[in-house]
Chains A and B, each alone.
Chain A
């Protein structure tokens, strides 16, 4: 009998272990300031900054949007707003939601002040608005819920801390910061798996997202030579070399071709078999 009681005690100990895991403190979800810009000299404007502007075109047949089935949440299904996929938004041969940013040159060799205003990602009609968003390192990232349902916001970064937080209807905004540059961080609502967004985190303010007509503008660019990076969620990344002279306004157009895809994954079997 004593042996059996001892065994039951072992079982209880295991149960306690389980409780200990449950009560274990989760790592803090807010990012600490791990900016890599600390040692760089602060950028001092000489008033000779230029502008890069252009259009992102799309060559080929526009991708067909698919209808999103929101029936698993009545609040989403009954909400107003578009219920078609928008991962590749093309209008009149122009591509929206391309994240455009500068790499190299003076923007990477200087530090820039963190804006005091927040960048907001809203959940409305069970979709993220906007779908692609840019933010500076340590700038406040605010998430609001305009829906009559509960969401959870789950960015999956590689260089920043991952967090996953619920936000009920009417709940106050969630505010977070990303401590390290990272392009781009996918964001997902695990309750509504069609809800996807992407956040570009940069140490400088020279980035933008192409509008519905494909146009983009990066203002106040310090003179210098850069790599201009265009990133699209489904079509991948393209780059251009650009040199901006003092007070110059540069036009840099680019075109994505239908069928161009980002890096292959192990799941792809197309005309050629791609295995890991």
Chain B
């Protein structure tokens, strides 16, 4: 068994930084909701200038009507997320001992800046909206994943002493879960491409099948190999639940969009279904990221294990089938 000491935990634990990362994760979900509302309400071009809105940073209440409400709220929340990311990055730089955490914080800040720039390009070049909206979605989801990862890395749970075990199946869980995270991210981008009419529904449907298979395989592998390990089972169980909800939402959202084709404007339930579909997709990604990080934390690659770097006791001793 390979365990870190309690002293190391208290040394590395930074409750304030962790709380800020959690707050930023929640704010990012709010930003994703706001962005989804912009798309679902076709409000992307309702404020034609950027970075100002109608020539101002704060618009007056008379202008805050109709679709401007969605676009301006999106910009406002994005500003808050940007400022919070800056705070998180600076705090991490000056308080974190782990060098890679400082790099991650810098990545998060670079991501939020890039995302704002892509959003600006989207407004200023409406003729390329499909082309620009897809990377906007990619960076949004990637940024969310990074912030969730930072929240995980700064959590006390992550820093607590953990049993480690071998990952020596034919298809190692670390590799499987990493591929699944990538598949979920690609699927979110395919969904964005469909939403922004960069391409049709077929790639998104193929992606949905692939992601369903990958998540099912991952969850099954976790359940089969580490049934007693709540640390891994919990996110796996949540991912499975989110997948079921997401599939239902996806089908419902698609048919709601079909039914709304002759509507004079975006209406309910199409708006709520498409927005919820996007958000549950993001939460699925976050859950898979958490599972992937935990797998990488507590599972030791077969090569290292066979080299005798660690004892194979760990999870195996807790009764899990490997």
A is bound by B: yes
Chain A interface residues (CB < 8 Å from chain B): 4, 7-8, 10-11, 14-15, 17-19, 21-22, 24, 26, 66, 68-69, 72-76, 85, 87, 149-150, 152, 154, 156, 161-162, 164-166, 188, 190-194, 266-269, 275-276
Question: Would B65 and A166 count as touching, CB distance under 8 A?
Answer: no
> How far does the alpha carbon of A176 sit from the alpha carbon of B308 in the complex, in Å?
75
Asked whether B257 lies within 8 Å of A267 as measured between CB atoms, the reply is yes
CA of A18 to CA of B120, assembled, Å? 9
CB distance from B72 to the nearest CB of A (A): 11
Closest 5 CB pairs of A and B: A276-B200, A266-B200, A162-B127, A190-B45, A190-B46
Contacting A at CB under 8 A, from B98-142, are 102, 106, 109-110, 113-114, 116-117, 120-121, 124-127
Residues of B within 8 A of A188 (CB): 42
Tell me, in angstroms, the Cα distance from A4 to B199 when the chains sit together: 44
Q: A190-B67, A194-B264, A275-B201 are in contact. Are A17 and B117 (CB under 8 A)?
A: yes
Decide: A14 near B109, CB < 8 A? Known: A69-B267, A76-B66. Answer: yes
User: With an 8 A cutoff between CB atoms, is B12 at the interface?
Assistant: no
| Interface contact B66-A73, CB-CB below 8 Å | yes
B94-A4 in contact (CB<8A)? yes
20 sample A-B contacts, Cβ–Cβ < 8 Å, listed by A number: A4-B94, A8-B90, A15-B113, A17-B117, A18-B117, A19-B51, A21-B120, A21-B121, A69-B265, A149-B66, A152-B45, A161-B127, A164-B45, A166-B48, A190-B42, A190-B43, A191-B46, A193-B265, A266-B201, A275-B200
Q: How far is the CB of A199 from chain B (nearest CB, A)?
A: 16
B320 to chain A, nearest CB (A): 42
User: Which residue on chain A has the smallest CB distance to residue B99?
Assistant: A3
**Which parts of B77-112 form the interface with A (CB within 8 Å)?**
86, 89-90, 93-94, 102, 106, 109-110
The chain B residue sitting closest to A10, CB to CB, is B106
Interface secondary structure of B, over-half rule = loop
Report A-chain residues with C-beta under 8 Å of the C-beta of B257.
267
Complex Cα distance, B116 from A39, in Å, reads 46
B51 contacts A191, CB within 8 Å? no
- With the chains together, A150 CA to B51 CA distance in Å? 19
Q: How far is the CB of B211 from chain A (nearest CB, A)?
A: 19
Q: How far is the CB of B140 from chain A (nearest CB, A)?
A: 16
Interface residues on B, range: 35 or more
Q: What's the least CB distance linking B112 to chain A, in Å? A: 9
Residues of A within 8 A of B48 (CB): 152, 154, 164-166
Q: Which residues of B contact A68 (CB under 8 A)?
A: 264-265
B 13-53 to A, binary, CB cutoff 8 A, 1 in contact else 0: 00000000000000000000000000001111111111100
Given contacts A8-B90, A21-B121, A191-B66, 16 further A-B contacts (CB under 8 A): A7-B106, A11-B86, A18-B117, A72-B65, A72-B69, A150-B63, A164-B126, A190-B42, A190-B44, A191-B46, A193-B41, A194-B265, A268-B261, A269-B258, A275-B201, A276-B199
- C-alpha gap A72/B68 in the complex (Å): 10
B266 in contact (CB, < 8 A)? yes
List of B residues within 8 angstroms of A194 by Cβ: 264-265
Q: Is B263 part of the contact surface with A, judged by Cβ < 8 Å?
A: yes
B245 vs chain A, min Cβ distance (A): 23
> B261 and A267: CB pair below 8 A?
yes
